Amino acid sequence: MARILLADDGIVFDGTSLEAGPLGGVESSVVNLMIELAKRGHEVHVRNNCANQLDYKGVSWRPIGEAWPKQVDLYIANRGDKLIRYMPNAKKTVFWVHNPARYLMKWRYLSKLWLTKPTIIFIGHVHKKTYPGWAPGGERVVIPYGLSEDFCNAKPSGEVPAPRAVFTSNPLRSLDWLIDLWVNHIRPKVPIAELHIFAGASTYGAVGAAKGEAMESVLRKANSLTNHGIVIRGPVSKSQLIKEFSSARCMLYRGDINETFCLAVGEAQAMGVPAVVKRYGSVVERVLDGQTGFIAGDDSEFADAAIKLLTDNELWRHQHLTALKKQRSWRWSDAAAAFEKLIG
């Protein structure tokens, strides 16, 4: 058994937040990874901006300002560069990066990486390429986000769903673009189709609040187009999202050049929901082109692929079954095992 500590200086959340309501991808990943490490018999601690002390599913959550363990076997500095040097006596220090690593190309970041040389954890190969080979740090390791078991229990659908597409990402990540493409090119070809939007600022805590007006502007535009089959559902809990995926025909999401994983598409694929994306950032790592969805080269290809999935029952069934078979093999238990190996 090892003693493991993760530190995070981001938004307010704890081990119960994932069940209580919508939660961002980074925060969801922290919760899931810590629980899986505890299941494997380790002593697991988190120091973050949680509101109160909490012991939940084997994980000790404490506010970041409280006392830290004096010695740990594995210290995970999560996304915050200021945290890298907080545990100099740790047997192993790793820096878990979630955003494109180009932001680290400043002296105040590079100096910490040069002095400490932590193992740097990237969440995909596209992500890893955002950090130059010459830049300082220790070993570079790719450990993808895992899939929650809750998203991996779907059975093959006995019926073909109604033509209902879903969008479950940040409204500022191409929703405005998707709305225009839906109204002008997709819906005219499938007049009974609906686009359900599960998005809102509350998913992202204080970060979302800071960008709330920009997000609301996009959502207001969407809400003005209900006569085009657009339905605003808002953020929902994980359990509700699983139910929604069960009746979804496809996911439509362009992708974002600054996105390093796209857990939203990964979860949809695990539920057997085909996805249409474009060649933007890491989203190309989430879809098997032509098998579990389509990776479109331009807007016209994207619209055509969406129309096909919304209207061609046999195509949908083939991609649905293929996604269930091929797109849920890497789970949080696998990611936890990969982190465990770092201890040595």
Q: What is the mean pLDDT of the chain?
A: 94
What the chain holds in terms of domains, given with CATH numbers, is: 3-147+330-341 (3.40.50.2000), 150-326 (3.40.50.2000)
* Strands ordered across the beta sheet of 194-197: 230-232, 194-197, 164-167, 250-252, 275-278, 293-296
Q: Are the C-beta atoms of 112 and 81 separated by less than 8 Å?
A: yes
**What mean pLDDT do residues 194-213 have?**
70
Percentage of the chain with pLDDT > 70? 97
Rounded Cα gap, residues 87 and 111, in angstroms: 16
DSSP 2-37: -EEEEEE-SSS--TTHHHHS---HHHHHHHHHHHHH
How many CB atoms are located within 10 Å of the residue 231 CB?
A: 15
CB atoms < 10 A from the CB of 291, how many? Answer: 15
State pLDDT tens for residues 91-148.
999 999 999 999 999 999 999 999 999 999 999 999 999 999 999 999 999 999 999 9
Model confidence, pTM = 0.88
> Of all helices (H) and strands (E), which one includes residue 176?
helix 175-181
pLDDT at 300: 98
Strand, helix or coil at 166?
strand
pLDDT tier at 209 (50, 70, 90 boundaries)? low
Among 88, 141, 138, 148, smallest CA distance to 118 is for: 138
Question: Does residue 237 register a pLDDT over 80?
Answer: yes
250 near 165, Cβ under 8 Å? yes
More confident: 229 or 202 = 229
The C-alpha atoms of residue 116 and residue 297 are separated, in whole angstroms, by 42
Give Cα 50 distance to the centre of its chain.
20
pLDDT tens track for 40-97: 999 999 999 999 999 999 999 999 999 999 999 999 999 989 999 999 999 999 999 9
Q: 3-state class of 103 per DSSP?
A: helix
Rounded to whole angstroms, what are the CA distances from 30 to 71, 146, 173, 202, 206?
A: 21, 11, 22, 18, 17
Matching residue, tokens 């400490």 = 116
266-324 pLDDT tens trace? 999 999 999 999 999 999 999 999 999 999 999 999 999 999 999 999 999 999 999 99
pLDDT score recorded for residue 344 = 80
Which amino acid belongs to residue 235? Answer: P
Give the model confidence (pLDDT) of 182-199 as tens digits: 999 999 999 999 999 998
- Residue 264 amino acid letter: A
Give the tokens for residue 50: 């949680």
Share of the chain above pLDDT 90, in %: 88
pLDDT score, position 208 = 46
* Beta partners for residue 190, in sequence order: none
Unique residue bearing structure tokens 């609906």 = 194
**Tell me: the pLDDT tens digits for 158-178?**
999 999 999 999 999 999 999
CA 228/CA 113 separation, integer angstroms: 51
Instruction: Residue 76: name the closest of 40, 29, 109, 115 by CA.
Output: 29
| Three-state DSSP state, 251 | strand
**224 and 181 in contact (C-beta within 8 Å)?**
no
206 has a pLDDT exceeding 60: no
Contacts of 70 by beta carbon, 8 Å cutoff, 6+ apart = 89
